[in-house]
Structure 1
Amino acid sequence: MCTDLLHPAGPQRASATARRLRRAVALGAASVALLCCTAATGAAAESPGQKIADALRRSPVHVDPSLTSAVDAEQQRELLARIRRTQLPIRVALVPLVEGDSWGGKPEQLAEVVHDRMGGGPSLLITLGKYPEDIAAREWPLGAHQAFHAAAAVFFQKDMKGAGPAKRVARAIDLIEAGNGDTVYARATAGLGTPKPTQDTGNGAGAKAASAPGSPFARLLSLVVGPVLLLAAVGLLLRRRSRLRDLSIPFALPRSVFAAARQADEAGVA
């Protein structure tokens, strides 16, 4: 006589075991799929550049939530309308820039990453700059609309002193549209760092003193002492800025120092 007929519970146990195995396999497959989806989502969330690029695809003006009090919804709409009137591939990405962030605190690094995430091609991106009350612009191809100087010039224009980021970006957009950023920058920075003329006492002594050739020793001394004093002054300013930053006190560099930094940036761009 067949054993299965003598023990009918045997087939039932085998069937139950098979069902448990199928459930275990299905559960394992679902877990693997869930882990893959979670990993993909996490990878996307870990790319700030991709997040900004996606936002700029939806609208050419992107403002980080932490800056919406400085650039509100109405101001964003005005910037959007201004960009559309230019008919240029201008985009604005206003996000905080600090040392140690995804861009190393460098606006040019932010611009390059976002441009790459958007697939490249001719475009122009305006961001916040390295310094307080500063904005920056980068364009592809380089120099097509003189955007670098157009954005840099805004900092030095007297009527932009104390203006908010929305007004500064709007001014930069206007200069980019005009295509004369180089000229405006040169005019705005003219005279920065130049020595003041010697005051005349009324008898021409001041003019004579200013035009006197001086001794070779004096000229040599000025060549040595001048750079040393300049380096000491810059070091003092940077040290003071670091201390004030620790105390959470705002600090503004002299515009002549800012101009020198801009010249270094231009050398790097060139």
Structure 2
Amino acid sequence: MSSDRTTAAATAATAATAAPRHRPLPGLLAALLLACAALLGTGAPARADATPATTATGESIAAALKTSPVYVDPAFAAAVTPAQQQQIAEQIAATGLPIKVVLVPLQQGDAFGGRAKGLSAVVQERLGQSPLIMITSDDYGSWLNGYEWPSDTHQVRDSANAVSLLKELKDAGLAAKVGRAVELISTGKGTEVYKAEADRVDREYSARPHTDDTAGAPGSSSSSTGLFALAAVLVLALVIGAALVARSRRPRHTAFTFPDAVFAADRAADEAGLRRQAADEVLALGTLLDGADGSTTPGLGRALDAYDAAGRVLDAADGLPDLAGVLALAAEGRAALATEPRLPLCFFDPRHGTAARRTTWRPLGRRERVDVAVCEDCAQALKARRSPQVLAVRDQGRTVPYFEVPADRSLWAATGYGSLLSGPDDTLAARVTTGAFTRTTHRRRPTDPKD
């Protein structure tokens, strides 16, 4: 099973939206948020939309790659000079592998849908080459993605992911990162190095003190001590601002909004940890299936369906929502093997684990209530009229809770990762098998020919 892009730190969330009775409060809260956002900006990776949008097309890039294995958009010319491009090309030639490097800034609405995966798919199609290994810039412009056709036999994705975690490359330029990725691919040590670095990041994060506001958020690690400190400042500002607003006006229902300044900086490493966890969950389910006896396990067929569906989604996963879906499918498979009924994963964020109970909840701006499965922490948050910690996603340029994405563009919003299924015969695995995942993936990125 293949694994997609992974890199640096964790998703952040929640700012108060209720308007207070007095005007000075919003001004103070805004000042706090702006100050923190400015601080965070100094430590965040550069995003692709901070550089000029490329005018390159799949055809022009493919044509250039026929004369050199390295294509660098003019927007990245200062980061990867012609001399460095030549050095990388010579390094690739020495490997004897069909490696191509494509470094292009990405923006929503460009020829690739603003996605690294779209860029790789379009260029590979125009090249018409297989086998092929491709290293690209990522959606934010600071890190790397790795792709291989027809399959990831050279640990290309893990090699690109490892580069994002290596301490010695934290402040390195793009050219150095590409060179190290080529080296890992050629030596076949990408997976080994990636796992070692991911373990290191996990250990370092676990060793740090956490407050109630951040504890229990899986995968929210960072290779930068400064980023943790700045994020702490942001959390403090949010707490202070929310307290001031609450004095003035108590919200009547749960609100969810997300500051983009934190989301863009932290999204990638959260994905790294979650992808690894998802792969481990699928492997663990496979081990359980190997030892299951069909004569004494009535749910074996459903478990096998869940295992197959989890593998499909993991292969095509493009971001946190899909990877969380792999966790939900693996949990569905384990539940099918269990002798006692089990609840699905937590509705608000599957990374919270198996739900502890079901409860009714009224989404913001709606009159109807829905029955959802929630973990104990989310249940307590709802009881206290606080916002549970939710899985945040990007949808058409906005950061929103995953369940606010229209159901026709997200299988996960339509099902609540299992909470909103209609009955015993309506399963996540069944929906994946009948094409619901593929259809919604295509609708959410209509410009990406491979989704």
Picking from 125, 132, 152, the partner of 1:143 is: 152
Partner amino acid, structure 2, of 1:100: G
**For the residues of structure 2 that align with 1:47 and 1:198, how far apart are their CA atoms?**
44
Partner amino acid, structure 2, of 1:252: A
1:28 equivalent in structure 2: none
Q: Give deviations 1:237-256, integer Å, cap 9, x for gaps.
A: 9933x2579xxxxx732775
How many pairs does the alignment contain?
190
Unaligned runs of 5+ in 2: 1-54, 221-230, 239-256, 280-313, 318-451
2:90 equivalent in structure 1: 81
Picking from 97, 102, 110, the partner of 1:101 is: 110
Deviation at 1:165, TM superposition (A): 0.6
2:177 equivalent in structure 1: 168
2:265 pairs with 1:252: yes
Deviation at 1:55, TM superposition (A): 0.5
Deviation at 1:97, TM superposition (A): 1.4
2:3 equivalent in structure 1: none
More displaced 10-residue stretch of structure 1: 96-105 or 106-115: 96-105
**For the residues of structure 1 that align with 2:112 and 2:268, how far apart are their CA atoms?**
25
Unaligned runs of 5+ in 1: 1-45, 200-221, 246-250
**For the residues of structure 1 that align with 2:84 and 2:131, how far apart are their CA atoms?**
26
**Structure with the larger RCO, 1 or 2 (CA within 8 Å, 6+ apart):** 2
**CA pair 268-197 structure 1, distance change in 2 beyond 3 A:** same
Deviation at 1:259, TM superposition (A): 2.2
**CA pair 189-55 structure 1, distance change in 2 beyond 3 A:** same
Deviation at 1:70, TM superposition (A): 1.1
More displaced 10-residue stretch of structure 1: 54-63 or 97-106: 97-106
Identity level (%) = 35
Structure with greater helix share of residues: 1
Deviation at 1:98, TM superposition (A): 2.0
CA contact (8 A) 2:71 2:101 kept: yes
2:101 equivalent in structure 1: 92
CA contact (8 A) 1:192 1:255 kept: no
Q: Give deviations 1:51-80, integer Å, cap 9, x for gaps.
A: 100010111111111211111111011101
TM-score, normalising length: structure 1: 0.61
2:258 equivalent in structure 1: 239
**CA pair 191-118 structure 1, distance change in 2 beyond 3 A:** same
Two-structure CA RMSD over aligned residues (Å): 3.5
CA contact (8 A) 2:108 2:114 kept: yes
User: How is 1:1-270 mapped onto 2 (pairs within 5 angstroms)?
Assistant: 48-193=57-202, 196=206, 226=216, 239-240=258-259, 242-243=260-261, 252-253=265-266, 256-260=269-273, 262-263=275-276, 267-269=314-316
Q: Which protein shows a greater Rg?
A: 1
In structure 2, the residue corresponding to 1:253 is in which secondary structure? helix
In structure 1, the residue corresponding to 2:78 is in which secondary structure? coil
Partner amino acid, structure 2, of 1:182: T
**For the residues of structure 1 that align with 2:96 and 2:102, how far apart are their CA atoms?**
18
**CA pair 256-144 structure 1, distance change in 2 beyond 3 A:** closer
